[in-house]
Amino acid sequence: MPTLGIDLGGTFARAAVVDGKGEILASAKVAVQDRKPQGVVETIAQAAEEAVKKSGVKVDGCGVGAAGQIHKDTGVISVAPNLGWRDVPLAQMLTKRLGFGVKVVNDLSAAAWGELHAGAGRGAQDILVVFVGSGVGSAIISDGRLVNGGGGVAGELGHIKVVPGGRLCGCGEHGCLEAYAGGHNLIAQTKELLASGSSRVLEKLTNDDPDTITPVTLETAADAGDAKAKEIHSRAAQFLALAVANYVTVLNPSRLVLGGGVLTHCPGIKRQVLDGVQQWSSRVSREGLLIADAELGDDSGIIGAALLVK
């Protein structure tokens, strides 16, 4: 029987009815307006009910992928920076509201599972998935199994420390990789540079409007020779490259799947990550490693969440 997959973001909740092969039968998207837990539960329920109605089939379970640190056994979201949540029992709340079992996992775990079964990971058993979008996320699949760790938060590449006591991260800690290389933080650092008045290049690129800034703006300014922009860009790219290279050395995956808006739209950052894997991961771990782009786009998490129910 098909299952529901939910992709919970800070702006929208997307729901899809997915069959056992990872095919989406019907989908719906509802804006998240009330970010309080009960409000989000109602938003998810609305999207889920609309998707099920469109599909015309029954479902027997629901998987939810959400950005944050999530307890693997209880489905409690310990920390969800995008929603400002701490210790929210989302699985329990949704089970009560929808009337059937709900499994809540980290959004990158869901994306990795989707890529494994229906995307760039097909045919592999040991996969490392790294997405750099608004944040930095990753997930590990070893011997065909999702690696959760003791508390369910294994694979939090974005929250390894790269500058002790450094920039404040959305998780509440300082010096995380995400605080330097995640899309939201690349934008924040670029806005800080624009506000300093020391970048004529940025002033021209943005027409002095900080709301137009994206990670691509930073890369364009760096490529145009702005020294400060280049410093921010190079630091982010090097931190990412070192982190991914060390990850490859430690885990020895057969496949590395890369995705997310920053790696898709900022070729300079992606190139440094690829070069870093070749230069800095161990020779043995590089042998036989296949690096692939994620294939499922925005659907990877929603498909993976649905398939994880089984």
**pLDDT tens profile 99-137:** 989 999 999 999 999 999 999 999 999 999 999 998 999
pLDDT at 9: 86
Q: Give the tens place of pLDDT for each residue, 243-278.
A: 999 999 999 999 999 999 999 999 999 999 999 999
Strand pairing of 77-80 and 85-88?
antiparallel
**DSSP class of residue 68?**
S
Pick out the chain residues at pLDDT < 50. Answer: none
Strand pairing of 136-142 and 145-146?
antiparallel
Q: Supply angle C-alpha 67, 77, 138, rounded to 5.
A: 35
Sheet containing strand 69-70, strands side by side:
69-70, 77-80, 85-88
User: 82 in the Ramachandran plot: left (φ > 0), alpha (ψ -120 to 50) or beta?
Assistant: alpha
pLDDT at 6: 97
pLDDT at 10: 81
Give pTM, 2 decimals: 0.91
User: Residue 97: which of 144, 40, 55 has the closest Cα?
Assistant: 40
Question: Look-up: residue for tokens 């190139």?
Answer: 271
H/E segment holding residue 66 = strand 62-66
pLDDT at 5: 97
CA dihedral 157, 158, 162, 163 (to 10 degrees): -150
